[in-house]
């Protein structure tokens, strides 16, 4: 059929057959290239300086559009990484590229640990891309500064110069693209006024400070902004850097917990569900991730029994903090609306007791009691920190802090 159609329309029925790559990863390399300012005469490949950044893993996608990106990749071994870096440098030098750019590949996920990691060139983007902050975060540089220096004819800034095959890096960074779209309805675009809209706290640390994690926000909206159907639906990029991948995942998840967006539907909860998914944590992130783990689409965050109990206790604590004069020692908290699950919560000074109230007395969990330690989260010993204008409360149960959005 393809040959016949090509023959009819183009008088040429030749076909290009491409290898089918099963379960690929989308991996790309950021580059910053320029011709040596001291070079003279006709440009030669060796005249071009190519700085290659650590790779970015960009495989969490919907409709072939990236949603979560991280650097470096968990998949690549060092042998494959260096082979790819060599190819990246050769490409940039051969075409005499100058400025920032990205070389993109598909990498086969090996079926066995000892199988080779085959990679295939996809395309080159001759611009600065949305996910460039993760590369900046782990390398401690400013790509825009590098582009401006090259454009001005000054060559590479000192911090980009290295005698190593790849720019040195430290730690791990992950970025979530926050879109005004409804993942519960097939990612349909969503429009409206952002009210309320509160971004997570930004930790203002120097870009060269690799010792502690920090959250970076790149956004173009503010409270009251009207999201229209005429422009790209991206609201922001939320980036978290940490000394290792585990901390980067946890830091970004906590930042998204504190990201208050109302007035439009958005994908922050989907991003959080991916971050906390066991397969993502394990690094199993091919481009088919969303289709594999959410085959019927995203249905919202599914809490475990323990998480439901902890949420019920958190709700009771926040309510007591908001209205101490009317608070009772024992309350019933209902999750999920009028017909949702009900929990009986008894708050003590430093512990809480929670019991699931079932409608069926024969259910095994009926009457099962759980005790949870309540920890101080403020200097004055309060177990709740609540900032009404930020719509976020913080509680700590059994030694772990949680951020709860409150309306």
Rounded CA-CA distance 120/107 in Å is 6
Establish whether 368 is a catalytic residue.
no
- Rounded CA-CA distance 302/270 in Å is 11
Collapsing DSSP to helix, strand or coil, 143 comes out as helix
Task: Assess contact for 107 and 87: CB atoms under 8 A.
Answer: no
| Segments in 64-164 forming alpha helices (H) | 78-95, 132-139, 143-151
CB count in 10 Å sphere of residue 313: 25
Chain CA centroid to CA 65, Å = 13
Neighbour order of strands in the sheet with 392-397? 384-387, 392-397, 400-405
Measuring CA to CA, which residue among 137, 130, 165, 124 is closest to residue 71? 137
Per residue, the 3-state secondary structure of 304-320, as one string, reads CHHHHHHHHHHHHHHHH
Please pick, among 5, 79, 86, 123, the residue that the annotation labels catalytic. 123
Phi, psi (degrees; rounded to nearest 5) at 111: -75, -30
Q: Which of 281, 203, 277 is nearest to 239 (CA)?
A: 203
> For residue 340, how many other CB atoms are within 10 A of its CB?
11
- Strand ranges (E), 229-268: 234-242, 260-261
Using DSSP, state whether 14 is helix, strand or coil. coil
- What DSSP line would sit under 200-218, residue for residue? PPP----TT--SS-EEEEE
For residue 144, count other CB atoms closer than 10 A to its CB. 12
Q: Distance from first CA to last CA of the chain, Å, rounded?
A: 57
Q: Just list the catalytic residues.
A: 123
């Amino acid at each position: 059929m393809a040959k016949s159609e090509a023959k009819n329309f183009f008088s040429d029925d030749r076909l290009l057959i491409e290898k089918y790559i099963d379960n690929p990863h989308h991996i790309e390399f950021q580059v910053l290239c320029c011709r040596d300012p001291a070079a003279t005469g006709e440009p030669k490949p060796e005249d071009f300086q190519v700085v290659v950044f650590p790779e970015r893993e960009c495989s969490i996608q919907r409709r072939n559009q990236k949603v979560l990106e991280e650097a470096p990749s968990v998949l690549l071994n060092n042998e494959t990484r260096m082979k790819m870096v060599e190819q990246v440098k050769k490409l940039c030098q051969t075409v005499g590229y100058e400025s920032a750019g990205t070389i993109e590949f598909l990498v086969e996920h090996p079926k066995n640990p000892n199988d080779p990691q085959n990679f295939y060139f996809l395309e080159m983007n001759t611009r600065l891309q949305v996910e460039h902050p993760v590369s900046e975060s782990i390398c401690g540089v400013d790509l825009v500064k590098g582009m401006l220096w090259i454009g001005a004819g000054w060559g590479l800034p000192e911090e980009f110069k290295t005698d190593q095959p790849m720019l040195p890096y430290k730690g791990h960074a992950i970025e979530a693209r926050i879109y005004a779209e409804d993942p519960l309805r097939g990612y349909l675009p969503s429009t409206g006024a952002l009210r309320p809209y509160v971004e997570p706290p930004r930790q203002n640390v120097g870009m060269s400070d690799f010792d502690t994690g920090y959250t970076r926000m790149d956004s173009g909206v503010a409270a009251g902004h009207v999201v229209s159907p005429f422009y790209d639906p991206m609201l922001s990029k939320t980036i978290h850097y940490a000394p290792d991948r585990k901390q980067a995942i946890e830091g970004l998840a906590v930042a998204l917990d504190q990201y208050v967006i109302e007035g439009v539907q958005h994908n922050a909860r989907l991003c959080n569900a991916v971050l906390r998914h066991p397969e993502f944590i394990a690094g199993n992130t091919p481009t088919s991730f969303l289709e594999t783990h959410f085959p019927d689409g995203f249905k919202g965050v599914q809490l475990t029994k323990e998480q439901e109990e902890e949420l019920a206790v958190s709700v009771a604590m926040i309510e007591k903090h908001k209205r101490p004069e009317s608070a009772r020692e024992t309350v019933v908290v209902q999750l999920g609306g009028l017909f949702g699950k009900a929990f009986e919560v008894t708050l003590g000074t430093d512990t809480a007791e929670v019991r699931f109230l079932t409608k069926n007395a024969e259910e095994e969990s009926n009457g099962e009691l759980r005790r949870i330690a309540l920890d101080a989260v403020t200097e004055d010993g309060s177990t709740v920190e609540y900032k009404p204008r930020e719509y976020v409360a913080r509680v700590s149960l059994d030694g772990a802090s949680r951020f709860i959005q409150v309306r």
